[in-house]
Chains A and B, each alone.
Chain A
């Protein structure tokens, strides 16, 4: 078992809090999920992404001990095999579902419920519940009963209940799926900060690519019960391993960087290599800049500086050409990394685009979509247990 634990930790910056190898979930003779390898480490957000029915929830329940599975599951260095092991796993982790599933008591009672079930009592119980309520900004709701809460409030209570126990791993199964977009955005922004400050490992299941980009460090893309591609979030989004993954993620290019908001809306997106993009964003901080290939215009010559609508003019080199339906996908390289452009065949011929060619890529500042992302970092527990 030690060997398995070691081999699963290979290539990871930190030893995995939870690791699975050759995990198989079968019901009534039918194999639902088969996963060769899955790990999540302290302070990391691992997103399981995929369409409905891909087996994401089934995998999550095998990982958190709610469902029986064949194969190796190692939690904090120890194998999980028996029902007793699974209870130990459940008592060190927490789960948030799409629905809040609050118990018939007050908000405080709910936040305390996980602690009580783990035999925390006395002043410790109150202190940790208070800290969790504060963390999610719901202290003012503490004495309310579940019936009067909005969907967003209820989900905050559910998350506070999960964080109050200071779990080694928190599992979230489509936690934003029943919330309206504004509620979703504010909750994701809060969670991004909360997770950045803590050492809890996070397994986040979603079908939503924006959500994955906003919260994830790593992503495992699932289809038909298997993880078909896994890796760093930008790596996977920029290099889909198959057309099935590409169809789901889209063909946009994702650049990692930092937004710097300036005066009079002049925002800059700073890339690691020192390159800069002009963009529109309402908040500074780490983010992804998403450039859709159809929004990239290729030019032979640098345009006249007077043309205000083309804010970014990037000298770029053609790397390769790929047929994409009736168009060509032109893969380019520039100072900031990668860039793709989608051109009609006629435009390609007109420009006589070929690998090695040096061109100018023009992208409007308004065409660059900026998605704030979480700040990496390993801190302490949520509730300093």
Chain B
């Protein structure tokens, strides 16, 4: 119990005093997660929408792939990305292994199936009649897509939150492709792992508090957006 209290106290001390190293780690976590999420959304939402609105041979197989990807173990993704980016690997020439960029790439691959899969589900639960009504109002493909996205914004924001939660709390892949280099590629999750393995439970707990605060505040903001205009029940 003493250990936990000490950890919490230390966490707030670090936060209030503005410990540079701690802020640096937290900021990098946020930066990597936000970049990965942004890329995954830009790529994944149109793909999920296209998958929901079109019919072509092999579509069902793609849907199965996406759904499998939603549950893919991060370590597997980490290993594959590491193999590709390894100095002697196919993309070794890019020379980005053990950099923030490599971490973003790995996290994009983790978030992308979640974004595609949940966008697909969100769009598919819309009524077919709504799609026809929007077309009859005079929408072309693009504006149909935009209007349907707006109609599906509640489940779509759930997709954003799920994807953000997956990347901010992920540790295996960023460890493998980032290397947990202090001051360069160390993020909250990898720092927690390191502190814990070195027996510095108080420091680890402080970082956990920061991680939870980060997750809570971003989800709080997104929930506010999501529930805007919804009737209180």
Contacts and interface: CB of A to CB of B under 8 A. Distances in A.
B231 A117 contact: no
A202 to B, nearest CB: 15
A99 B127 CA distance: 10
A104 B229 contact: yes
Given A95-B132, A117-B143, A145-B229, A104 B151 contact: yes
A118 interface: yes
Contacts of B137: 94-95, 113-114, 117, 161, 165
Interface string B12-29: 000000000000000000
A147 B230 CA distance: 9
Contact of A95 (B133, B140, B153, B229): B133
A66 B151 contact: no
Contact of A103 (B135, B136, B140, B151): B151
Nearest to A93: B136
Contacts of B135: 66, 90
Interface residues of B, number: 19
Contacts of A93: 136
Interface string A74-115: 000000000000010011011101010101100000000110
Given A91-B138, A104-B150, A104-B151, A97 B229 contact: no
A64 B140 CA distance: 15
B134 to A, nearest CB: 8
Nearest to B137: A114
Contacts of A94: 136-137
A128 B140 CA distance: 22
Contacts of B150: 103-104
A117 B139 contact: yes
Interface residues on A, range: 20 to 34
B18 to A, nearest CB: 42
B132 A165 contact: no
A90 B132 contact: no
B147 interface: yes
A64 B151 contact: no
A103 B133 CA distance: 10
A97 B130 CA distance: 9
Nearest to A145: B229
A161 to B, nearest CB: 7
A113 B144 CA distance: 12
Interface string A24-59: 000000000000000000000000000000000000
B231 A101 contact: no
Nearest to B151: A104
B231 A147 contact: yes
Contacts of A171: 136
Contacts of B132: 61, 66, 95, 97
Given A66-B135, A90-B135, A147-B231, A101 B129 contact: yes
Contact of A99 (B129, B138, B139): B129
B138 A90 contact: yes
B129 A97 contact: yes
Interface string A55-71: 00000010010100000
Nearest to B150: A104
Contacts of A104: 150-151, 153, 229
A205 to B, nearest CB: 14
Interface string B117-152: 000000000010110111111111001000100110
Nearest to A67: B132
A91 B139 CA distance: 8
Contacts of B151: 103-104
A165 B138 CA distance: 10
Interface in A155-187: 161, 165, 171
A171 B137 CA distance: 11
A101 B229 contact: no
Contacts of B138: 87, 90-91, 114, 117-118, 165
Scoring A64, A90, A93 by chain B CB atoms within 10 A of each residue's CB, the highest score goes to A90
Contact of B136 (A90, A99, A147): A90
Interface in A115-131: 117-118
Contacts of B231: 147
Given A94-B137, A161-B137, A101 B143 contact: no
Interface string A190-214: 0000000000000000000000000
4 nearest A-B residue pairs (beta carbon): A95-B136, A117-B138, A101-B133, A114-B137
Given A97-B132, A103-B134, A165-B137, 18 more contacts: A61-B132, A66-B135, A87-B140, A90-B138, A93-B136, A94-B137, A95-B136, A99-B129, A101-B129, A101-B133, A103-B147, A103-B150, A104-B150, A104-B151, A104-B229, A114-B138, A117-B139, A147-B231
7 contacts: A95-B137, A103-B134, A103-B147, A103-B150, A114-B138, A117-B138, A147-B231
